Each structure stands twice: as structure tokens, then as C-alpha cells.
Amino acid sequence: MASLVSSWSNKIEYMPADFIMPPERRPGNFLSICKEIPLIDLGQAAGSGRAQVVQQIIKAGQEFGFFQVINHGVSEEMMQDTMDLYKEFFGLPAEENASLCTDDNSKSCRLFTSGLNYAKEEVHYWKDTLKHPVLPREAVAAYSTEVRKMGMRLLELIGEGLGLEEGKRFMGFRSAKMGNGMELNPFLMLLLSTFVTKCSNGKLKGAEHRAVLSSSAARTSIATFFSPSRASLIEPAKALVNASNPQKFTDFTYKEFLDDFLSHISNKAPRVGTALTPYELKA
């Protein structure tokens, strides 16, 4: 088990070589710069502005694969309390968290450094991660409950925007509450995943998460994943497949996708395409 970055990072002067990403694996010029991330007011979806909100969500999903939401039902106080709790956790001495540290990715609750498989990584990520279902702490449980409610509302709005029947939903995005140092904003960032691309039959994009770090302040993110069970079959909504818009990806189970995705992100060679590329059906 590798030592947590937070346990030794403040004792070094230079970045270790095995944490420096080679040029061919950096975003570089492959990423376009966007000055304005779509900002959607979910509060308007409860009234006469619902159609406009649905249109904004679909447009953001088609163009970017991610967007910000405000008036989402999760209070600023709740977000701040939850962020404070996680900052307190990561500020504890390493020996107090030692019991949670493990390389076993099958553990539902684990604390680890870098990516999901440190031993097989050619280059490591400058981060520590606590993965857990829901911590038995009142603040985290309440936060998770409210974020899930918001997620269900968004899935409903996405389905509506795609023209699906009421009650037809599909999983596949993450919400992230981000703080830079002690600064916190009242919005949540939503990243659509490859599942949304798959279930929408290519109508919506999935965003790959990347973060730019600061040399002067720690960055803390609380990511909440909305995912199906491992045995679930991931397939496009039937209403979105027809003669003029044939199925674009083969079906797969969530477990199959996870196994392929881990192989995709741990590949030492420069990545080609996306996590969905192996499942593309040729015309």
C-alpha cells in the first residue's frame, strides 16, 4: 500500500518523477478552452420555465457533457458542513486513517492514493481519495440524500428532453462539489458520463473529468456517483433507436464496462478515443 500523498507532500521541495505526467498524456492542445460553463437554474423547472430548463440541459449535454446547477435544493450550509467534515478527515494524522488504507478495489470503503491501481500505474496522480457508500455521519447522510433527490430530478428532465415516456430514466452522471482552499460556491457541477452517451444513443456527450491543481492551495472535491448495479445491462433507450438513427454502441453490463474502463485508464500507451470506443458499432 502506497503512502498517502497528504502524509508527505508538505515535506518535499520538488515533485517526484513518478508523479509527473509525460507530455503525450497531458491534455495539451487537445482540450478546447471554454470561458463560460453552462449555468442552469433548476428552481425554474418547478414552474413555467420547465421547458426552457429542459432545453438548456439538453443543449449543455450536446455541446459540453457537463454543466453547473443552482437552486438545486442542497443548502449552502449543508454543503459547507459536509466539506468541513471531509477537510477535517483528510487533515487527520496518517496513522488515524491507517485502518481504511487498502489496495483492494473491491472494498466498499477505502482510502487510497493516486488511481484505482497504484502498483500498475506508470505515473501516479497527485491526490488521495476516500471512497465510501455513505459515511454514518449525519452531515454526509443528509447531503447524500439531497444530492440524490436532485439527481433524480435531473434524470427526469433529461429523459423529458430526449422525448422519452414519463418514468423512463437512465443512470450515468456524477455531481461534484468543489472547494479551492476555503472558498465554496453555491453551485454543483454535473458531469454526464459515457452511460448517458450510450443510453441516449449518442445524442448527449459524456465528459472526462480532469482537474488543474494549485501549487499554493489544496483542492477538495466531493463527488457523488449515480450508477446502476454491476449486473445491469447498459443499452440505449428503445425510443431513440430507429431506421434513421440506428444503434451506435453494442450493449454491455456495467461490470464489463468497469473492467474495460480500468484497463483503458491504466494503459501506458497514449489513449486513443474514449471509454466507449471499443463498443462503437461500425456503419
Distance CA 238, CA 14 (A): 54
| Grid cell for residue 43 | 428552481
Per the model's pLDDT, the better-predicted residue between 141 and 272 turns out to be: 141
CA angle 83, 84, 90 (to 5 degrees): 90
| 127, pLDDT greater than 80 | yes
Is the confidence at residue 178, as pLDDT, over 50? no
Which of 56-60, 171-175, 181-185, 242-246 has the lowest average pLDDT? Answer: 181-185
Q: What is the dihedral of CA 7, 9, 10, 15, to 10 degrees?
A: 170
Which among 152, 128, 132 is positioned nearest to 141, based on CA atoms?
Answer: 132
Grid cell locating 121: 500505474
Strand partners, 176: 189, 223
Which residues on adjacent β-strands are paired with residue 41? 70
Average pLDDT, the chain: 82
DSSP per residue, 175-206: EEEEEETTEE-S-EEEEE-HHHHHHTTTSS--
What percent of the chain stands above pLDDT 70?
Answer: 83
Q: For residue 142, what is its C-alpha cell?
A: 443528509
* AA letter at 157: L
* Residue from 202, 204, 157, 194 nearest 173 by CA: 194
- Overall average pLDDT of the 227-242 stretch: 88
141 falls in which pLDDT band (50, 70, 90)? confident
Question: What is the average per-residue pLDDT within 267-272?
Answer: 63
CA distance 130 to 128: 7
Q: Number of C-alpha atoms within 13 angstroms, CB side, residue 281?
A: 14
CATH architecture for segment(s) 5-231: Sandwich (2.60)
Model pTM score = 0.84
CA distance 164 to 263: 33
- The pLDDT, as a whole number, for residue 179 is 44
Q: How far is CA 228 from the centre of its chain?
A: 14
- In what helix (H) or strand (E) does residue 188 lie, and over which residues does it extend? strand 188-192
* Residue 7 Cα distances to 10, 97, 113, 158, 215, angstroms: 8, 11, 10, 42, 16
